[in-house]
Amino acid sequence: MRLILVRHPPCLAGAGRCYGRLDLPVAAAELASAAAQLRTQLPALPVFSSPLRRCLALARRLHARPTVLADLRELDFGRWEGQPWEAIDRSELDAWAADIWQYRPGGGENALELKQRWLRVYAHLEQQAPAGAILIAHAGLIRLALAEAGLLAGRERWAAPIVHATPYYLDL
């Protein structure tokens, strides 16, 4: 199965802020540019999207009827959502870095829960799109999927940049 994972275009007011489940929009010009570029790069496959508007707006420009999967959402950062990264207590960030699998940033979701969501998405796609699919999602989930496929290892799993509106290919 070929999966093509694409991170949403850059968000308005997202720079320097912690946002996961926070439903930030994208600029119209960024959206139009990303969609035009991706239409020339992507094959005709079913499109699945996170329900957050920064993903769904792009998915709707790539496919007439994208399928929304709640499990494609970004990590839930709880009370950190919308906060400038520098406003988050350093000791909390350090605790998260020390135990990324179990720690709940801002009281939200931990990486183990994100992994469980990815595994549900993958099982769903095996049944619903065995030839492959395009997934419009978020950096955290894409990093995890790449790591689970063996394409990212160690600390890179959590630190590798995931470029906006760029396809990442998995052949599973």
What average pLDDT values come out for the chain (172 residues) when binned by 10 residues?
97 92 94 97 97 97 97 97 97 95 97 97 96 97 95 84 96 90
Tell the CATH topology of 2-76+110-171.
Rossmann fold (3.40.50)
pTM over 0.85: yes
CB-count burial class (<10 Å; 0-12, 13-18, 19+) for 64: exposed
Maximum CA pair distance of the chain? 46
Q: Quote the pLDDT of residue 96.
A: 95
